[in-house]
Amino acid sequence: MNAKQEQITIIGAGAIGTALGNILASKTEYRVILHSVEDEVVHSITFDHLNPKYFPSIHLHPELKATTNNQVIRDSSILFLAIPSVVIVDYLETIRSFIPEDTVLVNLAKGFGAEHKTICECLAQRFPNPVCTLKGPTFAREIITLLPTGFTLGYSQENQIDIFKQLFANTSIFLDFTPDITGVEILSILKNIYAIVLGIVDAQFNSPNLRFLILTKAFREMRHILLHVGGTEETLFKYCGYGDFTLTALNDLSRNRTLGLLIGKGFFTEHVSHELVLEGKTAVNIFYEELSKKLTVEEHFPIVAELYKIFNSQYDISFFVQAILTFRES
């Protein structure tokens, strides 16, 4: 290894981890390693320059390496976390002894951790490391083909701005920045909820007027929840806010929009619920339960309340849109 190279490790060789790693591997000042528990994937990335599970037809940069060896983590200045949110904190605990205390932990996952806390909250409580979050309107298949893509960096220390500007300089990744880590994390979860809503609407009506009426109501409710949990309004207008929300709500590549389409067409069943990765369904239940501790959700956040009914009771989906429209904001 070139002594001047700085090591970047990405935990997880899935779609987003591979896509980001492939971009960063092109920069000669960094040594980029994907850390995975899958031997076959590691071998294929390192020797065949392919990730057969996620990008079987795309040749990866020859400098991108992969390993199952925890020892590489010891040399990492930045550790990207690209594994599911439900396992991040527990997994990091298993490799804690390999993580230097000054290594920056960067959460890429979109979801809650333990006790209905955000991943960054859990990391800050359990680890001494500096913590960041990186979120935005990002489909991995477009990142890996070098299409321009925006991310918001939620930072905990001012110097992290320059670190990540340099890291992604002269790549297809464009950044904006905010110290509102809570807002970035919460918006990355909320957008899945409201993507389900837009899927239901579009499944039942082919109406641009109605679509953007509901889109506006949904964005307004996102703002109310964001402020309620301590985020800042400005974060809504970062890549992680309006950008990620509209990408997820209006694009059929979105799993949660697809869930909404299934619900709206009457195809949602418990079998479908178990087969799909339903970040939005989980988020609806968590937000409803947490918000209801302090206020009447039906009165303040009617869209979340209506979705909660869908997932937790017998519900006639034909009344969903009218129920949302009936509520008039002041």
pTM here is 0.93
3-state helix, strand, coil in the chain (%, to 5): 55, 15, 30
> Kind and range of the H or E element at 309?
helix 302-312
The pLDDT, as a whole number, for residue 114 is 81
Strands (E) located in 30-187: 30-35, 65-67, 76-81, 104-107, 131-135, 149-154, 173-178
The CA distance from 44 to 57, in Å, is 12
Looking up tokens 């970035």 gives 184
The pLDDT, as a whole number, for residue 270 is 61
Which domains are seen in the chain, by residue range? 6-179 (3.40.50.720), 185-326 (1.10.1040.10)
User: What is the residue-level pLDDT of the chain in tens, covering all 330 positions?
Assistant: 455 689 999 999 999 999 999 999 999 999 999 999 999 999 999 999 999 999 999 999 999 999 999 999 999 999 999 999 889 999 999 999 999 999 999 999 998 988 889 999 999 999 999 999 999 999 999 999 999 999 999 999 999 999 999 999 999 999 999 999 999 999 999 999 999 999 999 999 989 999 999 999 999 999 999 999 999 999 999 999 999 999 999 999 998 998 899 999 988 666 555 555 567 788 999 999 999 999 999 999 999 999 999 988 888 999 999 999 987 665
Q: Which residues pair with 151 in a beta bridge?
A: 175
The pLDDT, as a whole number, for residue 220 is 96
Q: Nearest-5° angle of CA 195, CA 200, CA 204? A: 145
Model pLDDT for residues 104-163, shown as the tens digit of each residue: 999 999 989 888 899 999 999 999 999 999 999 999 999 999 999 999 999 999 999 999
Which among 249, 269, 250 is positioned nearest to 317, based on CA atoms? 269
Can you give 172-233 as a three-state secondary structure string?
Answer: CEEEEEECCHHHHHHHHHHHHHHHHHHHHHHHHCCCHHHHHHHHHHHHHHHHHHHHHCCCCH
Chain length of the chain:
330
Which among 130, 76, 70 is positioned nearest to 95, based on CA atoms? 70
Tokens encoding 284: 């609806």
Question: Can you state the angle between helices 119-126 and 85-94, rounded to 10 degrees?
Answer: 20
Could you tell me which residues come within 8 angstroms of residue 293 by beta carbon, excluding any fewer than 6 positions away?
none
The CA distance from 254 to 64, in Å, is 28
